[in-house]
C-alpha cells in the first residue's frame, strides 16, 4: 500500500520542530522512519505533515555529565552499538543492541524513535526501564524530564503528548558494583522478541540490591517484575515469583503458557548473569 498524501517540512532546530507540532496537531516527527513509514504505508496513521528532524545536530551526541550518560534522540542504533561511551557507561544497552532488528534497520533507526514508538516487544524501552533512566522532552513549555517508571503508559502509548519532542535519554553511569543482564528469545535473530528481559542491580558483598527486572514482549508495555526483584534481593529463586508479576496473553506468536515458560527460562539465565562480577 501507499501512504495517504502528506506534507513534508525539514525542522531546522528543536524549537522549530516544536513550533511545527503546535501548528499541526496531527503532525508526526520523522526520525529513522523504520517504524513510522510502515505505519503510513499501512494507513494506520495519516498525518497532514511529516516533520523531519534528521538535520538536528543537537540531538546526535552521546555525552557524560557526572553520573549521567545522555544519549541524543537521533543517535542511530548502529552508532550506539559502536560507541565506546555506551560500552563503558551503559553496558546494558551495548548488550541489547545486536538484538535489535538487522544492520540495515540499525543504520537508520534511532534511540529516540524506538523509545517514542514504545513497541512492547522492543529492547530499548525495557533497557531504559531496567536502568531507571529518564526521558528528556522539549515542548512549548520548555523542557522536562520523565522517569522511565512513569513514561510507558500503555500499548504504543507514552507520556509524550502531541506537541512533544523527545530530545534525549538520560541513564545513570555504570559503577564498579553495577551488574547487568540481558536475554531474549525471538523466532529468528533480529525479529522482535517473543519474550525478553533486561536487568540491572548493584552488588553489595554477596547480595544484590536495587534489582530492576524489565520484561518485554509479555504485556502492553515493558514491565517491572517486582516480586521477582524482591526474590533476587533475598537470595531466593525468582522464577516462582514471576507468577505474581506477569500475566501474558495468547496471541498469534505464542500462547500465554509458552510466554510464561520462556519468561522463566530467561529469568534463570539473567539471574546467573547478575550473579557474575562484570569483566
Ligand atoms: C523489519 C524491522 C524489524 C525491526 N525489529 C526491531 C527489533 O527487533 N527491536 C526493536 O526494538 N525495534 C525493531 N524495529 C524498529 C526499529 O528499531 C525502529 O527504528 C524504531 O522502532 C523506531 O525508530 P525510528 O528512528 O526509525 O523512528 P520513526 O520510525 O521515525 O518514528 C517512530 C515513531 O516515533 C516518533 N518519534 C521519532 N522520533 C521522535 C522524537 N525524537 N520525539 C518524539 N517522537 C518521535 C515518530 O513520530 C513515530 O511516531 C524493527 C523495524 C523493522 C522495519
CATH number at residue 12: 3.30.43.10
Number of structural domains (the chain) is 3
Identify whether residues 244 and 211 lie together within a single domain.
yes
- In this structure, the answer to whether residues 86 and 164 fall within a common structural domain is yes
185-240: pLDDT as tens digits: 999 888 899 999 999 999 999 999 999 999 999 999 999 999 999 999 999 999 99
Co-location of 65 and 164 in the same domain: yes
From ligand 1's centre to the CA of 80, what distance in Å?
Answer: 15
Given this model, what pLDDT does residue 25 score? 87
Q: Are residues 46 and 62 in the same domain?
A: no
Mutate to test the pocket of ligand 1, among 13, 20, 34 (most ligand atoms within 8 A of CB): 34
**214 CB near ligand 1 (under 6 Å):** no
Residue 115 CB less than 6 A away from ligand 1: no
Identify any residues that bridge with 35 across adjacent strands, giving them in sequence order.
Answer: none
Ligand 1 pocket member 123 (CB < 6 A): yes
Residue nearest to atom 10 of ligand 1 (CA): 122
On whether both 159 and 196 belong to a single domain, the answer is no
Q: C-alpha distances in angstroms, 133 versus 32, 111, 200, 257?
A: 22, 13, 11, 31
- Neighbour count for residue 251 (Cβ, 10 Å): 11
Look at residues 118, 141, 172 and tell me which one is the last residue of a structural domain.
172
12: containing domain: 7-52
Nearest CA to ligand 1 atom 28: 33
- 33/124 same-domain check: no
Task: Identify the pLDDT of residue 127.
Answer: 98
- Report phi then psi at 57, rounded to 5: -60, -30
Same domain, 95 and 128: yes
Q: For position 24, what pLDDT does the model report?
A: 94
| pLDDT at residue number 277 | 83
Closest CA to 218 of 92, 125, 114, 106: 125
> Do residue 137 and residue 221 come from a single domain?
no
Q: Which of 131, 156, 172 is the last residue of a domain?
A: 172
Residue 159 contacts residue 153 (beta carbons within 8 Å) = yes
83 Cα: distance to centroid of ligand 1 (angstroms): 20
Residues 126 and 146 in one domain: yes
From residue 91, give the alpha-carbon distance in Å to each of 86, 176, 179: 6, 12, 9
pTM of the model: 0.97
Q: What is the mean pLDDT of each run of 10 residues along the chain (279 residues)?
A: 93 98 95 96 94 98 97 98 97 97 96 98 98 98 98 98 97 97 93 95 96 97 98 96 95 94 98 89
Q: Last residue of some domain: 149, 172, 195? A: 172
Strand intervals (E) in the chain: 7-10, 28-30, 49-52, 62-65, 68-72, 134-139, 142-147, 152-154, 157-158, 165-172, 178-185, 195-204, 207-216, 223-224
CA-closest residue to ligand 1 atom 53: 34
3-state secondary structure at position 117: helix
CB atoms within 10 A of CB 58: 12
Q: Is the CB of 36 under 6 A from ligand 1?
A: yes
The Cα 191–Cα 161 span in angstroms is 29
Residue 2 in domain: no
Q: What are φ and ψ of residue 251, in 5° steps?
A: -150, -175
In this structure, the answer to whether residues 17 and 82 fall within a common structural domain is: no
Has residue 1 been placed in a domain?
no
Both 115 and 192 in one domain: the answer is: no
Amino acid at each position: 500500500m501507499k501512504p495517504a498524501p502528506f506534507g513534508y517540512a525539514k525542522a531546522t532546530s528543536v524549537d522549530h520542530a516544536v513550533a511545527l507540532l503546535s501548528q499541526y496537531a496531527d503532525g508526526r516527527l520523522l526520525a529513522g522512519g523504520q517504524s513510522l513509514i510502515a505505519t503510513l504505508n499501512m494507513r494506520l496513521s495519516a498525518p497532514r505533515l511529516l516533520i523531519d528532524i534528521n538535520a538536528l545536530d543537537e540531538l546526535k551526541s552521546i555525552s557524560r555529565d557526572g553520573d549521567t550518560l545522555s544519549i541524543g534522540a537521533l543517535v542511530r542504533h548502529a552508532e550506539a552499538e559502536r560507541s565506546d561511551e555506551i560500552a563503558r557507561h551503559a553496558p546494558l544497552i551495548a548488550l541489547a543492541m545486536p538484538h535489535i532488528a538487522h544492520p540495515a534497520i540499525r543504520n537508520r533507526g534511532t534511540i529516540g524513535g524506538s523509545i517514542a514508538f514504545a513497541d512492547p516487544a522492543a529492547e530499548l524501552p525495557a533497557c531504559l526501564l531496567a536502568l531507571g533512566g529518564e526521558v528528556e522532552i522539549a515542548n512549548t513549555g520548555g523542557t522536562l524530564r520523565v522517569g522511565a517508571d512513569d513514561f510507558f503508559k500503555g500499548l504504543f502509548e507514552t507520556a509524550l503528548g502531541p506537541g512533544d519532542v523527545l530530545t534525549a535519554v538520560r541513564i545513570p553511569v555504570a559503577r564498579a558494583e553495577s551488574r547487568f543482564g540481558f536475554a531474549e528469545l525471538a523466532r529468528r535473530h533480529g525479529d522482535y522478541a517473543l519474550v525478553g528481559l533486561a536487568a540491572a542491580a548493584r552488588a553489595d558483598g554477596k547480595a544484590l540490591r536495587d534489582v530492576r527486572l524489565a520484561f518485554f514482549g509479555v504485556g502492553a508495555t515493558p514491565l517491572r517484575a517486582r516480586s521477582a526483584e524482591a526474590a533476587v534481593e533475598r537470595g531466593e529463586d525468582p522464577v516462582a515469583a514471576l507468577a505474581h508479576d506477569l500475566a501474558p496473553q495468547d496471541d498469534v506468536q505464542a500462547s500465554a503458557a509458552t510466554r510464561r515458560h520462556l519468561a522463566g527460562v530467561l529469568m534463570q539465565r539473567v539471574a546467573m548473569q547478575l550473579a557474575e562480577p562484570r569483566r
